[in-house]
Amino acid sequence: GQSLEQPSEVTAVEGAIVQINCTYQTSGFYGLSWYQQHDGGAPTFLSYNALDGLEETGRFSSFLSRSDSYGYLLLQELQMKDSASYFCVFYGQNFVFGPGTRLSVLP
Amino acid sequence: NAGVTQTPKFQVLKTGQSMTLQCAQDMNHNSMYWYRQDPGMGLRLIYYSASEGTTDKGEVPNGYNVSRLNKREFSLRLESAAPSQTSVYFCASSRTGDNYGYTFGSGTRLTVV
């Protein structure tokens, strides 16, 4: 089955920029999504990329390179409230969630 | 606008007991899903229903059954609970082929002792 790889933890300070990478296997690929999940909460949708390039939504941007089977989520002007887990999600016949990256934003 | 509503929010079961987790959405979505999330891990698909009247197995279906009661409701049943089913269960819905992703319920935290 599909498996995705992303770093388990990332730490950054308020106001900084952080990039969370994700690699996936290419079989049956339609697109790559990103979700945010705060502790004890439900995942919430952040972005979706089906084509190569950068999609920007406010402070968050997501990038996809289909030829490299690679994507990333870029978070700018980090705020304390951005401390959460971030999941890349392979969109094929169904969604397959990556293991998640826990982002800690320090003051 | 309630979105996706799951009940109950918390449940403790003894090994061998049965229970049904309820999920309802009011967004007129065609597709509904049940996921489980174990500590420190991503979500794994248990079952899904692409449309009313259809259900299919996901990655980890063993020990579970589902019913798509109507377009709004999708229930998950544990017939004989086991400690390995201790997890957080999320229901989600989406429009078929929608690139805007899933809307998740708030989750059911299940402990099997």
What's the angle, vertex CA A103, arms to CA A38 and CA B37, rounded to 5? 45
Q: What is the CA radius of gyration of chain B?
A: 13
Helices vs. strands in chain A: H and E counts, helices first: 0, 11
Are B59 and A33 inside 8 Å of each other by CB?
no
Which residue in chain A has the smallest CA separation from B96?
A: A94
pLDDT(A21) > 90 = yes
Q: Which amino acid is at B98?
A: D
Show Cβ contacts of residue B98 under 8 Å, excluding neighbours closer than 6 positions. Answer: none
Show Cβ contacts of residue B27 under 8 Å, excluding neighbours closer than 6 positions. Answer: B3, B4, B93, B103
Query: What is the per-residue pLDDT for A93?
Result: 73
B22 at interface of A, judged by CB pairs closer than 8 A: no
Are B43 and A97 inside 8 Å of each other by CB?
yes
Share of residues in chain B with pLDDT > 90 (%): 81
Chain B residues inside the 8 Å CB shell of A91? 99
Between chain A and chain B, the number of residue pairs with CB atoms below 8 A apart is 48
Q: In the block, which residue shows the tokens 């169904």? A: A94
Closest-CA residue to A103 (of A19, A3, A5, A33): A19
b/e map of A18-50 (b: 16 or more CB within 10 Å)? bebebebeeeebebbbbbbbeeeebbebbbbbe
Q: What part of B 26-55 touches A (C-beta under 8 Å)?
A: 33, 35, 40-45, 48
d(CA A66, CA B53): 35
pLDDT(A70) > 80 = yes
Confidence of residue A65 (pLDDT cuts 50, 70, 90): very high
Give the length of chain B. 113
Q: Which two tokens stand for residue B5?
A: 């509503």
Query: What is the per-residue pLDDT for A94?
Result: 72
Q: How many Cβ atoms from other residues are within 10 Å of residue B72's Cβ?
A: 17
CB B16 within 8 A of CB B65: no
d(CA B88, CA B109): 4
Give residue-wise pLDDT tens across range B22-49: 999 999 999 999 999 998 788 999 999 9
d(CA A90, CA A100): 12
d(CA A63, CA A21): 9
pLDDT (tens place) for every residue of chain B, 113 residues total: 679 999 999 999 999 999 999 999 999 999 999 999 998 788 999 999 988 889 999 999 999 999 998 999 999 999 999 999 999 999 999 886 656 688 999 999 999 99
As a whole number, the mean pLDDT across chain B is 93
Query: What is the per-residue pLDDT for B99?
Result: 61
Are B48 and A94 inside 8 Å of each other by CB?
yes
Confidence of residue A72 (pLDDT cuts 50, 70, 90): very high
